[in-house]
Structure 1
Amino acid sequence: MTADLQTVPPAQPTPRTPAALRALVTELAERPQEWIHRVRLSVDERWYEQLSLTEDHEVWLISWLPGQSTGFHDHGGSRGAFTVALGELEELSLGGTDGALHTRRLPTGAARSFGPDFLHDVRNTGAGPAVTIHAYSPPLDEMARYELRASGLRLTGREGREQW
């Protein structure tokens, strides 16, 4: 008699917590000698470069010129965090029981972390460039884009990793 063998999928790594991701980006921002030489500025769109990718997280470096923004987006179910390493940004999000629009000023040193269901729009409304460091866990596979309307957010599309 033979035993039935079942294929067991490999275990997925446990995602890092938003607090752990926040600590990661904050600590990296305090070591500019490890990333400052990689920063580029682009007038066409935000510039970004992946700094690391592991099974359980990834880290990105992003530069922002005045007027550049992400638009409202989610993170495809990943947890995340980012810190403003240089400059100043603004973050828009919907929240509270009334779903009101919240605006946060994020100066150099500010850090934000969030869970897998968070949506926001990050933008450079200042006079000079800004640089941020972002971490996501698990690594991003997909992001959804949204348009802000009087009635709330409306899904406008999805992007996969191959589009970054």
Structure 2
Amino acid sequence: MIVTTGVRADHLNTARRLADNPEAWPVAPRFDPVRRWYHRLLGESGVEAWLLTWLPGQETDLHDHGGSAGAFVVVSGTLTERTVTGADGSACLTGRVLTAGAARQFGEHHLHQIANEGPEPAVSVHVYGPELTTMTRYRLQAGRLLVAAVDRAGAQW
């Protein structure tokens, strides 16, 4: 299953190509019981790719990608993606379950939260362009999006 939002297909193609060739990954996926494990697979001018692992219960905060568009593919396991729906003052999170092989493509203004709510570990490949420089984390309070923190590449990841 591929879910797209009408943005550049090259991020999705890159994510799919990397996800389909785990033997070419420079490292094998690892699982950390304390936090999500990640490894940069690709870093070229204008695009980067990351391998992420998710143990049951691990999740991201609600976040954006600092103006970068992207795509991700679930390599194994199951992930739940939640996105913001509704207008300011009545915003809420709507979820979709993505199983192995599912892909999601998004534009530069996308906000989401990803979680492994299943019983099995999960692996995913994420591609962003341009490269991530910041990510803003948000929280929903009374239907309004509030900035919780701004993370910077090289400092927080």
Same fold (TM over 0.5): yes
Cα distance between partner residues in 2 of 1:63 and 1:131 = 5
**Partner of residue 136, structure 1:** 128
5+ long unaligned stretches in structure 1: 1-16
- How far apart are residue 34 of structure 1 and its match? 1.6
Cα distance between partner residues in 2 of 1:45 and 1:100 = 26
Q: Percent identity?
A: 41
- How far apart are residue 118 of structure 1 and its match? 0.5
Matched, 1:69 2:66: no
Cα distance between partner residues in 2 of 1:96 and 1:23 = 30
Cα distance between partner residues in 2 of 1:91 and 1:36 = 27
Cα distance between partner residues in 1 of 2:65 and 2:96 = 19
Cα distance between partner residues in 2 of 1:34 and 1:101 = 36
Cα distance between partner residues in 1 of 2:117 and 2:92 = 20
Matched, 1:95 2:85: yes
Q: For structure 1, which segment, 93-102 or 49-58, has the greater mean C-alpha deviation from structure 2 after superposition?
A: 93-102
| SS of the residue 2:97 aligns to | strand
Does the C-alpha gap of structure 1 residues 154 and 55 become closer, same or farther in structure 2, counting only changes over 3 Å? same
Cα distance between partner residues in 2 of 1:72 and 1:100 = 11
- How far apart are residue 52 of structure 1 and its match? 1.2
Cα distance between partner residues in 1 of 2:119 and 2:140 = 25
Aligned partner (choices 12, 17, 28) of residue 38 of structure 1 = 28
**Partner of residue 84, structure 1:** 74
| SS of the residue 1:38 aligns to | coil
If the length of structure 1 is used for normalisation, what is the TM-score? 0.85
Task: Describe how 1:106-145 pairs up with structure 2 within 5 A.
Answer: 106-145=98-137
* Aligned partner letter, 1:121: Q
- How far apart are residue 99 of structure 1 and its match? 4.2
5+ long unaligned stretches in structure 2: 1-6
Q: Which structure: larger Rg?
A: 1
| SS of the residue 1:158 aligns to | strand
| SS of the residue 1:20 aligns to | helix
Cα distance between partner residues in 1 of 2:109 and 2:119 = 31
**Partner of residue 14, structure 1:** none
**What is the CA RMSD across the aligned residues, in angstroms?**
1.6
If the length of structure 2 is used for normalisation, what is the TM-score? 0.88
| SS of the residue 1:126 aligns to | coil
Aligned residues: 148
Matched, 1:24 2:6: no
Structure number with the higher strand fraction is: 2
Aligned partner (choices 52, 60, 69) of residue 42 of structure 2 = 52
